[in-house]
């Protein structure tokens, strides 16, 4: 498993290039949301494996596995 500190540092460096993000406090807040959304998506993926009739309350286009990757590709 990669070092979480290294991942956060890489994301911060990417976010520093974004004109819409000003300051470390805003970057930390956005990183917190990104991590939260990723955790929710992982839990939903687990529920889909456990229960055949599980349906996500999050629309497909807003799920991390669909939207999060697109966002990261834009910034890379």
Length of the chain counted residue by residue:
76
Q: Which residue, 45, 37, 44, is CA-closest to 64?
A: 37
Higher-confidence residue of 40 and 21: namely 40
pTM for the model stands at 0.63
Give pLDDT tens digits for 31-67.
Answer: 888 888 888 989 999 999 999 999 998 888 778 888 7
Radius of gyration of the chain (CA): 14
User: Average pLDDT, stretch 65-76?
Assistant: 65
For the record, the structure tokens of 25 come out as: 């406090």
Higher-confidence residue of 8 and 39: namely 39
């Amino acid at each position: 498993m990669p070092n979480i500190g290294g991942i956060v540092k890489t994301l911060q460096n990417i976010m520093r290039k974004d004109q819409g993000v000003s300051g470390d406090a805003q970057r930390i807040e956005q990183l917190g949301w990104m991590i939260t959304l990723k955790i929710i998506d992982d839990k939903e993926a687990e529920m889909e494996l456990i229960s055949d009739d599980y349906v996500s309350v999050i629309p497909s286009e807003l799920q991390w596995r669909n939207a999060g990757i697109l966002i990261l590709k834009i910034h890379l």
